Amino acid sequence: MPDAGRFAGKIAVVTGGAHGIGLATARRLAGEGARVVVIDVDDDALAAAAGIEGVDAARADVATQGEVESAVAAIVEHHGTIDILHNNAGRLRAGSVTEVEVAEWDRTYAVNVRSMFLMCREVIPVMLRNGGGAIVNTASTSGLVGEVGIPAYNSSKGAVIQLTRQLAAEYARQGIRVNCVCPGWIPTGFNDPVLEGLSDDEVQAMVEATVPAGRQGTPEEIAATVCFLASPDASYVSGHALVVDGGLTSSR
């Protein structure tokens, strides 16, 4: 259950925060007392997110160094610090390694991995000045197993998990915890590129056949996990890839 005061006085930043898991996390953080800044490139969705109590919006492409630097500087100037960072921006496109275009491969890595490097590069010094903080990256079950038809996404999410572990090892003694969450099937529209041509009934049949829980998860279930990892309840958890997949990977 949400704890209305768990993040009171904290400043949180959520990238890819205007949709899906990011938006659900922003709502949850704000509902538990944080002041949240969502970063996204979708102007309409950002405007809607900014209508949530406790949520501000900032437009930036987090795969672009200059835009990240400007966005983080503006957040710190306005709010004074950053206590929590949820690196959630992501990209998924289908295509085997012989089919995917080099530009598409590069863009996937830019959004899925470089964005996290750039955000951490700017935010970690802020957290160090503040005595610590919590970073939660959105990885995926796709980063844990090999999957057909999505080599760029599959490998990039493996990189996210390893980046998470490296950062945890590097900064634990300085009070910064770094973890990642590995969602399974979540119906946000993000997975549409790999579900093209399947009806809703066919998707449901696939989920029932492969997920022991027999259903997809919800953005709110992932948000609850992100908030746990960002909270004092997880004070001794760092470098962990927490799987939230209804048992999907346990059955593989």
Rg of the chain over all Cα atoms, to the nearest angstrom: 17
Q: Please state, in angstroms and rounded to a whole number, the distance separating the CA atoms of residues 193 and 172.
A: 37
* Among the listed residues 73, 100, 236, the one whose alpha carbon sits nearest the alpha carbon of residue 168: 236
Nearest 10 degrees: Cα torsion 212, 214, 215, 216: 30
CA 217 from centroid of its chain's CA atoms: 15
Token representation of residue 53: 């109590």
Q: Please state, in angstroms and rounded to a whole number, the distance separating the CA atoms of residues 31 and 234.
A: 19
Q: Name the active-site residue from 109, 153, 171, 236.
A: 153
Q: Which helix (H) or strand (E) holds 203?
A: helix 200-210
β-partners of residue 37 are: 13, 56
Token representation of residue 93: 């496109």
The question of whether 109 is a catalytic residue gets the answer no
Strands (E), 124-223: 133-138, 176-183
Contact 68, 122 (CB under 8 A): yes
Q: So which residues are the catalytic ones?
A: 153
